[in-house]
Chain A
Amino acid sequence: MKLPRRSSLIALLMLAGAIGSILGTREFKDAVVECQDLYRVDTTGSQIETGLEYEIQESRRTFSYALSTRDPNEQLPYIDQTRAASARVQDYLSRLRALPAPQITTYLNRFQLAWNGYEKVRNEVIALVLEGDLKTAMQVEQDRAQPALSVALQSLLDLQAALGDHARIQSARVTGTLRRSAAGLGAFAVSTLLIVAVLGRVSRDRRLALESLNASSAALAAAREMELRRVSILEMVSTHAPLPQTLEEIAGVATQHAKYAGAAIWAAEGRCLKFQVAANLCKELKKCISELSLSIVDVQSENLTELEEHLRRLAGQFSLVAGGSRALHDRGGLLIGFLQVFVPVGGGGLQRDVLKQMAHLAATAIENRLLYERLAFQAQHDALTDLPNRTLFQDRVQQALNLSRRHRKRAAVLWVDLDRFKQINDNLGHRVGDEVLCEVGRRLKRCLRDSDTVARVGGDEFTILAHDLDSPADAEVVGRKVLAELSRPMQLGEHNLALTASTGISLFPDHGEEPIALMRHADLAMYSAKRDGGHSARLFRPILGETMLRRVRIERELKTALERDELCLHYQPLVDSEGGLNGLEALVRWNNAALGSVSPAEFIPIAEDMGLIQVIGEWVLRSACSQGARWLAAGLKAPGIAVNVSAAQFMGRNFTAVTERALEENDFPPNMLVIEITETVFMNNLDTALEQMAALRRRGVRFAIDDFGTGYSSLSQLRNLPVDCIKIDRSFVKDLEIEGGGSSTLVRGIVALAHSLSLEVVAEGVETEGQLSLLREMGCDTCQGFYLYRPMPAPEVEKLLTPGRAEPEGGEVPDLAPVIA
């Protein structure tokens, strides 16, 4: 009975052992699967985290390159790289979603949302950068993109923490499962050798798995610590934390990975490497390192041997060895820094990948700082000459004024404008023009004290701040010095140029107590110098202000006069000897809301100086043709219309085309258009003038010489000129009635000469009956002047052209004959 009971017991025990074994094995299998999941989540997650950070950093870096140029052709490749890095960020996020780790979903969504928000703002910045609106781009970048990025980085940190938590929970679960499996298997160990053997194996596997798990947990913790540090460093880089602070954080990484290790970092400053920080090194060694010559490495030569040799020797003196070093390069391959790690003798170097990561972070931090400094420099300096720009100059003037107030001294602002610089640009090209500006900048700096400031505030406009002056005479000395320096011949390649400049000077406190006022007054004084022929320095006087202010206001208003439809044409009738209407002269008038009616004598020369005369002249031509065509279409017998054309407009390359287009667009007969030009047209380039005239005459356009007798009239040329009419200048007509004045003889001669050449003669400025009688007696064909008709707007001309028309001003021209076209 005993045996069967024992057998039953053994059988029962074996059965329980078998069940325990089966259950324990199943638990163990589950543990292995969970372990594999944990490993997969852990390693993939870790790779993705690293990749994510790298791509975020890459997108920032490539984007900052795009900001460093203004040419969209250069910006676009960088922007492509930025977008590609962003696409990889999204790819990493998709991969994170695919991991069997539901606990991270919330954090993943949060990061995704934050990153998408940042990308949206960054795309706006990209558009602004490409549009060329760098100022707004920088504003949006600072106000919106940077905060959005900070939020995204914070979300990334949370996500990483969530991944870590997930790994810890998973690890605890695996450990629990393994323990349960061990218990099941332990219960059965005594029942059968086979099961014991199996259990022994299971136990060994469990031990190995636990050991491996512990080791990987430790490595994971270290890697996570490193990642957190990297994120913190990257955040410091992206928020432009001070460079030494960032580099100190990077150098500190070395000490974390190797016992008693220390590190030192150098960064480029100009052409040399400059020591920045050292971490975990004794004071004496740090002092020795910082005292190494600043110019020990020329960044362009990239020869680091000497520096490395010095460091090796130094390390030896402190029982250390150089445990790894890296040259730091920017994206373009330029040497921008150096990293050196020190370890105790026999302590072993730093792991290669840690050193690589440190070098990468340090290079990013230095490059970012250099870029930031460059942008800051560009914001305050002129890109061509590297001189301070207007903003920085105003700032310096403000500082100088504060000092001058305190020390009761004078300060001067000089406004220098090159004379006829436009001609250099037009004739020799912008490259030579740019070289001239650079040379002018260099010369100005050379001839002034180091404490003075030279700035470029516009195309060819420079400003100078000279302070600590005792009297106005000191400022004038500076002005003369500047003129002398600039008038020295300038040899630029094959070109030998002789430049002159106009300079305006304003003084503190005499002419203003604010930078803006001083600059404006210096500018006005410069204008005055320029208007009087240039190549002089002029001190501001309040009277100058009024005259020049009027001119500046005219200039400002004139720019938009056409746009605001402020110009209009008046027409002054020309009357022939029979009293008939023989033509109309179109005269431009300008009525401005602020300035009132501005005389053409005042605004036309300014328009010529501003280069607006072409535009205004073209408008006059088109409007006259259009008005003439409207009169004809209305069935009025309009006479020919004369239009004054300036020499600059006439000699313009496309004057013929513009005139032809004005005629064609308005369907105005060419033979009804008379172009009035002055003799100066023929003085500069006779051949071109004749060519233009011939082309238009072939179309039927007629020509008159205006203000005849006042220029350098060449009588021998007159017979060769293809003109139909000459207009005697009003100055001769004015003196006609003065006996013995000589005008009478001259006019008689001009009339005879013109008639002998079959030219029509028009006398301008007829203001009295006596003048009219004399001119008729001399045989003058046509007269024009206030005595006959004042210039009148188009509707009044229409009344004149219809039967029952208005009488002339003098009421003395009887029987005005039907209109002659």
Chain B
Amino acid sequence: MRSAILATMLLIGLARAAGPPSFAVVVHQSNPRVDLRLAEVRAYFGGSTTRWPNGSNVVAVERSSGSPAFRCLLERVLNMTASEYKRNLTRIEYSGGGRVNVKTLNTEGAACKFVFNVPGAIALIETASLSLAECNGVQIVRVNGKLPGEEGYPLR
């Protein structure tokens, strides 16, 4: 695990030098889902899937509106505008899909800390923030089989 994180950090370093910021999907240390399709990431954040396979509740962590991570969530993951996103959550709730548990955190560090504390949490954060001390205790998820920084990673 440690070597995977180190490799990711190295790749991220190279990727940062090469191009625009990329974003990592992180989950709790105990979460076995460490390789997700982009469509699954969309389902977790968009509220169409509200439980993990082990039955625990999904808690989607979003960053405050206007942050790069929130923009990435809307544009690259959900493909929605902010108002569509809010309305989508409301629609799910009103059409009996249950309440979508979304938490808004003010900083990348706080988002990592939240994920560290909550087994069902999933967050999208800037890969540059993975070097923060707060992000030590979270797992980075492969998206479409790729880690941030690898060729073909979809969230860059």
Contacts and interface: CB of A to CB of B under 8 A. Distances in A.
A132 B94 CA distance: 19
Interface in B71-127: 81, 83-84, 91, 94-97, 101, 103, 105-106, 110, 113-114, 117-121
B104 to A, nearest CB: 8
A317 interface: no
Nearest to B102: A132
A73 B117 contact: no
B100 to A, nearest CB: 12
A555 to B, nearest CB: 11
Contact of B120 (A72, A131, A559, A561): A131
A684 to B, nearest CB: 21
A563 B101 contact: no
B95 A560 contact: yes
B59 interface: yes
A73 B113 CA distance: 10
A570 B113 CA distance: 52
A654 interface: yes
Interface string A654-688: 10000000000000000000000000000000000
B110 A615 contact: no
Contacts of A130: 59, 103, 114, 117-118, 121
B67 interface: no
Contacts of B94: 559, 610-612, 615
Contact of A559 (B95, B101, B106): B95
A119 to B, nearest CB: 13
Contacts of A126: 117
B86 to A, nearest CB: 12
B57 interface: yes
A563 B110 contact: no
Contacts of B95: 559-563, 612, 615
A9 interface: no
Given A131-B59, A563-B96, A654-B84, A76 B114 contact: yes
A562 B93 CA distance: 12
Interface string A59-91: 000000000000011001001100000000000
Contacts of B118: 127, 130-131
A774 B13 CA distance: 80
A331 interface: no
Question: Per DSSP, are chain A's interface residues mostly helix, strand or loop, or mixed?
Answer: helix
B28 to A, nearest CB: 9
Contacts of A72: 103, 105, 110, 114
A126 B59 CA distance: 14
A127 B110 contact: no
How many chain B residues sit at the interface, stated as a range, is 20 to 34
Nearest to A658: B84
Interface string A118-160: 0000010011001110000000000000000000000000000
Given A131-B101, A615-B91, A79 B96 contact: no
Contacts, number: 57
Interface in A613-663: 615, 653-654
Contacts of A132: 101, 103
Contacts of B84: 654
Contacts of A560: 95-96
B110 A653 contact: no
A76 B101 contact: no
Contacts of B105: 72-73, 76
Nearest to B61: A72
B85 to A, nearest CB: 12
A203 B11 CA distance: 75
Interface string A20-54: 00000000000000000000000000000000000
A787 to B, nearest CB: 38
Interface in A557-592: 559-564
Contacts of B96: 559-560, 563-564
B114 to A, nearest CB: 6
Interface in A782-805: none
Nearest to B106: A73
A616 to B, nearest CB: 10
Nearest to B92: A563
A617 to B, nearest CB: 12
Contacts of A79: 113, 117
B83 A563 contact: no
Contacts of B114: 72, 76, 130
A171 to B, nearest CB: 46
A76 B118 CA distance: 11
A612 B57 CA distance: 26
A126 B94 CA distance: 29
A560 B101 CA distance: 19
A479 B106 CA distance: 46
Contacts of B103: 72, 130-132
Nearest to B28: A127
A731 B76 CA distance: 51
Contact of B113 (A76, A127, A654): A76
Nearest to B59: A131
Contacts of A123: 117
Contacts of A559: 94-96
A706 B84 CA distance: 29
A131 B121 CA distance: 8
Contacts of B83: 653-654
B51 to A, nearest CB: 13
A76 B91 contact: no
Nearest to A132: B101
B47 to A, nearest CB: 13
Interface in A3-17: none
A123 B59 CA distance: 16
A137 to B, nearest CB: 12
Nearest to B64: A73
B18 to A, nearest CB: 33
A495 to B, nearest CB: 25
A811 B95 CA distance: 42
Contacts of B57: 131
A127 B119 contact: yes
Contact of A76 (B59, B97, B110): B110
A654 B82 CA distance: 12
A414 B110 CA distance: 45
B54 to A, nearest CB: 14
A305 B121 CA distance: 52
Contacts of B81: 654
Nearest to B84: A654
Contacts of A131: 57, 59, 101, 103, 118, 120
B97 A563 contact: yes
Contacts of B120: 127, 131
A559 B94 CA distance: 6
A76 B106 CA distance: 11
Contacts of B101: 131-132
B44 to A, nearest CB: 15
A132 B99 CA distance: 12
Nearest to A616: B95
A558 to B, nearest CB: 9
Contacts of B91: 615
Interface of A: 72-73, 76, 79-80, 123, 126-127, 130-132, 559-564, 610-612, 615, 653-654
Question: Which 4 A/B pairs are nearest by Cβ-Cβ distance?
Answer: A560-B96, A127-B118, A563-B96, A73-B106
29 contacts: A72-B105, A72-B110, A72-B114, A73-B105, A73-B106, A76-B105, A76-B110, A76-B113, A79-B113, A79-B117, A123-B117, A126-B117, A130-B59, A130-B103, A130-B114, A130-B121, A131-B57, A131-B59, A131-B103, A132-B101, A559-B94, A559-B95, A560-B96, A563-B95, A563-B96, A563-B97, A654-B81, A654-B83, A654-B84
Given A559-B94, A615-B94, 6 more contacts: A72-B110, A73-B110, A80-B113, A130-B117, A564-B96, A653-B83
